[in-house]
Amino acid sequence: MIKTLAKQVKEFKKDSILTPIFMIFEVIFETIIPFLMGRTIDIIESENPDMQMIYLNGAIMLLLAAGGLWAGIMGGKYGARASAGFARNLRRSMYENMQTFSFANIDKFSSAGLVTRMTTDVTNMQNAYQMLLRMCMRAPSTLIIAMAFAFGINAKLASVYLGAVLFLAIVAFFIISRAIRYFNEAFPQYDRLNESVQENVTAIRVVKGFVREDHEKQKFNAASKRIYDIFLKAEKIVCYNMPVMQFTVYTCILLISWFGAKMIISQVGMVGGFTTGELTSLMNYCMNILMSLMMLSMVFVMLTMSVASAKRITEVLNEKSTITNPEDPDTEIPDGSIEFRNVTFRYNESSETPVLDNINFRINSGETIGIIGGTGSSKTSLVNLISRLYDVSCGEVLVGGKNVKSYDMDSLRTSVATVLQKNVLFSGTVLENLRWGDKNATLEDCKRACRLACADEFIEAFPKGYDTYIEQGGSNVSGGQKQRLCIARALLMHPKILILDDSTSAVDTATDAKIRKAFAEEIPDITKIIIAQRISSVQNADRIIVMQDGRIDGIGTHEELMEGNEIYRDVYESQTKGSGDFDE
């Protein structure tokens, strides 16, 4: 975990090295001042004070104070730059790694969990890293240097500090060991909180349509309450840290004052005896030593909180895509032919029941193939294997006569355009959304694709036409309009294979027929796979595949299936009698 996170420091190594160096200089300057102050007090209390030495010591202390201030400012500057850069690199690396994930990888993480990792968890790591560079260097340095000066002045009195350090170390261990388990529980709860917010915002129309605002409030409050309860338990333990620290500090001050004063009185007039100046220095070092311990305890609490975040971030950074390019990939797809050879597929390899079982068929380049089947018959799973959104568990999927695993993934997915069931548009103009298919597409290219998808009619009816702004998720266009824009976007990729996964379900029958006619006339060389619930959407296809429980129940033309496939015939009869679609 530490090695993975350390790699993200990258170009901020210099800042990460300079920060602790400046912190050490700050500590050195600060710890010399009490020593000089004690010497100055002793000079003042002597029978013949040397004013020149007093002024010299005062000037040196001013310079040391200025040097400490400068070192502190520089340490803060470089520490802030290093921690902010570290957080930036974490977010960037997580996001870049997420872009390589296959669908199988994405299934392991919830979207709310990924958002929490990139926000709350990274912020925790940023704060922890800054503390690590500054406080984790300053506190031990102060402790060691101040302790050395204290023992140099009077080892007997300074031994009080050793007892205090041991006591505080034991208390800190008990506090941290008990608090860490609550922090580990807390951060996964942020996922549930974010999930509640995300669902509510995304589906706000459904929430209001079913008058479920109160239910959503209760769900959010419950998630928020869980986080509150966990942090409350943790804070109840952590809150003992400060009182114990203060008790130890004041106890040490009392002991040093008591024994120090007695030593001064008992050694009055003795040469080399314990002096008031030395007692003053020890008092200052007492504050330095114990404040450094207080800082260390706070650092440990912060680091304890960040351990849970570090683990969650490392999970994303170390996650490797289940689908990778071969060493010497093919970049050219010869044609749009497709073949499934003894294909079996499981989403989870430990699962005994396959999603697809022993699938065998061949599609010639340029054919139009319909796929029909009930909900859960694995139609979408079947077509996802063509563009390697998932890899087969057994068997082979061939495109252009070659195993899809031999192709460069970008080249394969550019040649296999898929319009998924869930149509997604992004905030931006209509033209910007269309150019997701081809960033260099001209306006005429976009218009042609929209004509094929029957999207030109409603786009040109907009006041701003192709410059009309699409809200996030396409919330300002209808479901049918969204589907047609997504089809046009896929056509701009100039694919060899076009997969429409129930992508005209929100389109009226007449428009659906127009789209199919345009495809047959304008793009006859593209292999087209149409998944649909309506028989009318696929009955003119060259062949139709009937899916049932992850298996192929029948393949043939509309007429052949009407004669020889009971499932297809029952669906046709139910729909032509007006009983509904296949799912019903």
SS (H, E, C) 222-266: HHHHHHHHHHHHHHHHHCCHHHHHHHHHHHHHHHHHHHHHHHHHH
* Mean pLDDT on 251-267: 80
Q: What is the mean pLDDT of residues 360-374?
A: 91
The confidence band for 403, taking pLDDT boundaries of 50, 70 and 90, is: very high
Residue 533 has pLDDT above 80, yes or no: yes
- Where is pLDDT greater, at 302 or 489? 489
Q: Which helix (H) or strand (E) holds 342?
A: strand 338-345
Q: Measured between alpha carbons, how far is 477 from 433 in angstroms, rounded to an integer?
A: 13
Would you say residue 538 has pLDDT above 80? yes
Q: If you average pLDDT over residues 42-67, what whole number do you get?
A: 85
Rounded CA-CA distance 160/151 in Å is 10
- Is residue 400 within 8 Å of residue 333, measured between CB atoms? yes
Residue 539: what pLDDT?
A: 86
Read off the pLDDT of residues 494-516 as tens digits, 9 standing for 90 and up.
899 999 988 777 778 888 888 88
Quote the tokens at residue 407: 């192709």
Question: What backbone phi and psi angles, to 5 degrees, belong to 349?
Answer: -65, -20
Question: Confidence band (pLDDT; 50, 70, 90) for 151?
Answer: confident
pLDDT at 10: 86
The DSSP-derived string for 357-368 is EEEEEEE-TT-E
Q: How high is the pLDDT of residue 579?
A: 47
Q: Tens digits of per-residue pLDDT, 438-459? A: 888 999 999 999 998 899 989 9
Confidence of residue 341 (pLDDT cuts 50, 70, 90): very high
Structural domains in the chain, sorted by start: 2-318 (1.20.1560.10), 338-543 (3.40.50.300)
Residue 215 scores a pLDDT above 50: yes
Encode 146-189 in three state secondary structure.
Answer: HHHHHHHHCHHHHHHHHHHHHHHHHHHHHHHHHHHHHHHHHHHH
Q: Look at 391 and 296; give whichever has higher pLDDT.
A: 391
Residue 449, phi then psi, degrees to nearest 5: -60, -40
CB atoms within 10 A of CB 259: 17
Residue type, 76: G
Buried/exposed code over 207-234 (b: 16+ C-beta within 10 A; e: otherwise): beeeeeeeebeebbeebeebbeebbebb
The predicted pLDDT at position 19 comes to 92
Query: C-alpha angle with apex 166: 162 to 168, nearest 5 degrees?
Result: 115
Given this model, what pLDDT does residue 267 score? Answer: 62
Burial code of 557-575, b = ≥16 C-beta within 10 A, e = fewer?
A: ebeebeeebebbeebbeeb
Q: Residue 407's beta-bridge partner residues?
A: 330
Among 52-56, 119-123, 137-141, the minimum mean pLDDT is found in: 137-141
Q: For residue 394, give the H/E element and its range.
A: strand 394-399
| Rounded Cα gap, residues 435 and 425, in angstroms | 12
Lowest-confidence pick of 39-53, 68-82, 529-543: 39-53
Does the pLDDT at position 578 exceed 70?
Answer: no
Instruction: Give the integer Cα–Cα distance in Å for 118 and 114.
Output: 6
Q: Which two tokens stand for residue 248?
A: 């130890």
The pLDDT value given to residue 156: 81
- Residue 270 reports pLDDT greater than 70: no
SS3 340: strand
**Model pTM score:** 0.70
Looking at residue 342, its pLDDT comes to: 93
What would the mean pLDDT of 561-577 be, rounded to a whole number?
A: 86
pLDDT tens-digit profile of 544-559?
999 998 899 999 999 9
Percentage of residues of the chain with pLDDT beyond 70: 97
Mean pLDDT of the chain: 84
Average pLDDT score over residue span 138-154: 82
